[in-house]
Structures are given as structure tokens and as C-alpha cells.
Amino acid sequence: MSKLTFPSHPLLLGFDQLERLVERTARSSADGYPPFNIEVTGEHSFRITLALAGFGEDDLSITLEGRQLVVRGQQCDAGTEDRVFLHRGIAARQFQRVFALGDGVDVARAQLSDGLLHIDLKRLEPEETVQTIRIDRK
């Protein structure tokens, strides 16, 4: 007798995309930059906060691609050609951070403040419905 894994369990029909989602999320989270927090802000709301010191609004792009929230950043180093750094510890590299959103989760707003990008998410609760399925005779 073989042990069934979660996505292949016979009572979970239509969840085959879950395994691909978990694999894709695990691959994209290998890089730890930029650091982020995810917090619950209400019964049906969440907040993602990314630490983006030195990034301005024009350096950032936030898109919703399917059910994935994609945050991209690329700083324009205008005016740094004639500057000489003895130590450069503030990251000025491009990044892409992807968050998989569940069905019914929408982006409410995004705000950049004091080097922190806050993205507020809201989960819309679906109405519970009961549907009667008719049985056809042969």
C-alpha cells in the first residue's frame, strides 16, 4: 500500500495546481532580498511590508499577474558616478519578489513610507450557497 501525498489524495479533486504553486513559491523565495513581513491586520485583511531603503516610487513596480502579486524594484543610480564610496552597504540592486495570492484575495492599496513598502490585502468572503444537483434518468 502506497502513501498518498496531499495533492494526489482521491478526495481532493481539482487541487492539482497546489503542488505546482508550492514548488514555484519555494523556488522564488530562495533569495532573501528584500526582507519582508506579512502580518494579519484584521479578520479578513493582511499587510505585506518590504524593507526598501533608498527606493523611491519611480523605482518600484507592483503588478498582479494572474493570482501572483509581483513587486519589482530597480534603482536609478543617477548622480553616483562622481561619488567615491569607502563602504557601500546599502543595497542598490534590482529585485523581484513574488507572492501567491489565494482566490478572493485582492490588493487594497500600496504605500511607500520611510523606506517601507506596505501592501494591504483584503480577502473577500464568498457567499455560502447550497446548490441542488438534479439526477437525470436514463
pLDDT digits (tens, 9 = 90+) for 17-53: 666 666 665 665 556 889 999 999 999 999 999 999 8
Give the list of residues 6+ apart from residue 71 with CB closer than 8 angstroms, or none: 50, 60, 61, 62, 95, 96, 97, 98, 99, 117, 119
Contacts of 110 (CB under 8 A, 6+ apart): 62, 117, 118, 119, 120
pTM: 0.71
Whole-number pLDDT of residue 54? 85
What per-residue confidence (pLDDT) applies to 32?
81
Q: What are the grid coordinates assigned to 120, written together?
A: 494591504
Tell me the HSE value of 133 on the side-chain side, using a 13 A CA sphere. 1
Per-residue model confidence as pLDDT tens digits over 59-95? 999 999 988 999 999 987 666 678 888 987 776 778 9
The secondary structure of residue 30, as a DSSP letter, is: S
Domains and CATH numbers, the chain: 34-123 (2.60.40.790)
53-57, 59-63, 106-110, range with the lowest pLDDT: 53-57
Q: Look at residue 103 in the predicted model and tell me its pLDDT.
A: 84
Phi, psi of 58 (to 5 degrees): -70, -15
